[in-house]
Structure 1
Amino acid sequence: MNPGQFCGICATLFTHFILLVSAGQKTITAESGQNVTLPCQAPHNNIIVVEWSRADLQPDYVLLYRDERFDPENQHQSFKNRVDLQDRQMKDGDVSLILNNVTTADAGTYECRVFMRGANRRKRAHLKTEPITTIRLNVLPGQTGGHTEDGGKEDGSVGLIVSLLVPAVLLVAAVVFLIYRKHKQQQNKDSYQPPA
């Protein structure tokens, strides 16, 4: 294998590594008192029920929107009058959650699920399917910094990628350099002709 082939393989592996690291749940960090939007996109518009939940709060939910209105019956007390959908008409499948005046108690992992028209309907919408979006919300008391357009500070996957990217690039560069150096030494050894 020549150095060019090795570099190509390294680049391919590195690309797959970056894609793997960036997959998974999204993390948003916000300050106490901010309004935060947790993004969620359904595959199409035939949505009849939207449920936002947090596993540590079950059986209560964060928000349940059914039959074009909110269902407060089993909503967790701490979210009453503090949550809304970004678009109640759910145009283009947008079922993002707006969480007003966040506190450190709001930190946790939020899951977004939907019922589509034609699916089995239940009185209660706790779906037994995988969530379409999972978001980890971190809430910090009064820190400042750059914020995303949804009201939160992007954290997690971007920071993780950057923190892994620099050492990975240095490692790949070191390996390529060592292979190149060994290849050059081998060339010099092969071209050496002992005196007659």
Structure 2
Amino acid sequence: TDFYLSLFHFQSSQNYFRGCFLSISNVTLTCRAPSNNIIVVEWSRADLGKECVLMYRDELFVPDEQHPSFKNRVDLQDRQMKDGDVSLILKNVMISDTGTYECRIFRKTNPSRSFLVLLLLLLGVNLELIL
């Protein structure tokens, strides 16, 4: 069975909107932040409660805080976070991965910042996306 992805990306701090449509098994949820002094990256989804999709703190993953359904299925696109790239790679995408994801960063010198990313997965449906 093929998954078809309709990805709408909205960064509230920059009023930025982008959409795409493709058949996938892995997907990258884009998030960029100011690149200086990032000490924590947290990817979460509201329906997961206190557990997160991914927690990366002080250059290490924190598996104890991760929801079991994302174990061994997520990674950062660039663990060095060059140019503020804190995008999430989600592997072996499932229909249950549908949801609104939040990318939150914490820096040494500034308060935290959040970005919302909506991931909508449609199973076996051919659609045309018009923006």
Compute the TM-score of the two structures, normalised by the length of structure 1. Answer: 0.53
Over the matched positions of the two proteins, sequence identity in percent amounts to: 56
Q: CA RMSD in A?
A: 2.5
Query: CA distance change for structure 1 residues 30 and 59 in 2, over 3 Å: closer, same or farther?
Result: farther
Query: Which one has the bigger strand percentage?
Result: 2
The CA distance in 1 between the partners of 2:122 and 2:22, in whole Å, is 6
Query: 1:118 offset after TM fit, Å?
Result: 3.5
Query: 1:144 offset after TM fit, Å?
Result: 5.6
Native 8 Å contact 2:100 2:118 kept in 1: yes
1:79 aligns with 70
Query: Which one has the bigger helix percentage?
Result: 1
Describe how 1:21-170 pairs up with structure 2 within 5 A: 23=15, 31=23, 34-118=25-109, 131=114, 133-143=115-125, 159=130, 162=131
Compute the TM-score of the two structures, normalised by the length of structure 2. Answer: 0.77
Q: Aligned partner of 1:110: which letter?
A: Y
Q: Aligned partner of 2:55: which letter?
A: L
Query: 1:82 offset after TM fit, Å?
Result: 0.1
1:149 aligns with none
Q: What is the SS of the residue equivalent to 1:73? A: helix
- Per-residue CA distance 1:29-61 (angstroms, 9 max, x = gap): 565x61000000011231010000001112100
Query: CA distance change for structure 1 residues 130 and 114 in 2, over 3 Å: closer, same or farther?
Result: closer
The answer to which structure, 1 or 2, has the higher relative contact order (CA under 8 A, 6+ apart) is: 2
- Name the larger-Rg structure: 1
Q: What is the SS of the residue equivalent to 2:79? A: coil
